[in-house]
Amino acid sequence: MLSPQVVSVGLGERAYDILVGPGLLATAGERIGPVLQGRALTAVVTDETVAARHLPTFTAALDRAGVKHITQVVAPGEGSKNFQVLAELCSALLAAGVERRSTIIALGGGVVGDLAGFASAILLRGTQYVQVPTTLLAQVDSSVGGKTGIDTPEGKNLVGAFHQPRLVLADTNVLDTLPRRELLAGYAEVVKYGLIGDAAFFTWLEEHGPAVIEGGPARIEAVVRSCRHKAAVVAADERESGQRALLNLGHTFGHALEAETGFTGELLHGEAVAIGMALAFDLSARLGLCPLADAARVHNHLAAIGLPTGPDHVPGRLWNVDRLLGHMAKDKKVRDGKLTLVLVNGIGQAFVTQDISADQVRQSLQEAIAA
């Protein structure tokens, strides 16, 4: 079996490693063991879908390493990221005997990682946790960097905490079990790294994108390169006071689209981000900030790989511009009542701005909806 590639997140005494490669679930016990605090109970949080596919392999690995553990299973999907499920999870973990030296293990995609990580941050004023991401989106983005949280009726991820994991295990073999739609949704976050600051990576993806989706060495390479990008940004700006905000390219638009669908799965997060990135490039081009040719490249690549580039991706939905702007106004990146957007001067040249008016955003959204 190939040795995993290691990406380090440099955060001083809170530094940790991301291990990327095939077969990591089967050796998870021996890899997680060194970060555990004594013999305290370990709690594995997962969802019903992941439990059916991967939980037996994972818990067998913990058993072989002598790791004492319990399991808590939640319903799959964004609907589990709410106060009710969080409260139920915390109560169940406390009732099972979780203590401050316990480790919470998030085995699943972004929803499980956000939910379990937030529970770990607030249980007993803070326990440690390990991320074992099982989707492409989680492996390249949400499992790295310590953002945890839940959704509220007001918007996505508006309640949460920065809480860094002790270890991330990204087993690339588990991605072979994902539906293609889920893989494509994760790929949108891979593309993001090229668009915000690495034009050469985007060019590489234009050639190798289909191979990333299909699996094999190209997929591993894409996960590793994405994690390196994320690790460097997090190490430089852990709490999103500056550079880290660039990672939100497409997310202000995307979160508004998700909120308007009620986080029902009608529009996956990665699909919303893909549309949001296309909108960000369109707006940048319209304002004369970005060459039209770069916006066209982004549209063409996303469409060629099978990702949406406009709101019309959701059939039959009538989008309301005012409602979308209302969701954007509640975005957690709003400052002094002004929208904070990530726009671009070109591929690999993203920047953060508060200088775009609501009317300019409105016109961009109206044209996208009309198209």
Neighbours of 178 (CB within 10 A): 18
Q: Which two tokens stand for residue 235?
A: 């190490």
Of 329, 326, 266, 273, which is closest to residue 298 (Cα–Cα)?
273
Q: Please tell me the number of Cα atoms within 13 Å of 323 on its side-chain side.
A: 10
The set of catalytic residues is 125, 147, 189, 230, 240, 244, 248, 251, 255, 269
Sequence-distant (6+) residues with CB within 8 A of 152 are 82, 83, 158, 159
107 beta partners: 132
Whether the CB-CB separation of 1 and 23 falls below 8 Å is answered with yes
**Buried-exposed string 152-172: b where 16+ CB fall within 10 A, e elsewhere:** eeebbbbbbeebbbbbbbbbb
Rg (CA), the chain: 20
Three-class SS state of 208: helix
Of 17, 73, 65, 83, which is closest to residue 43 (Cα–Cα)?
73
Cα dist. 240→81, 153, 227, 285 in Å?
22, 23, 17, 26
Cα dist. 336→243, 339, 340, 354 in Å?
19, 9, 10, 10
Of 63, 128, 135, which is closest to residue 99 (Cα–Cα)?
128
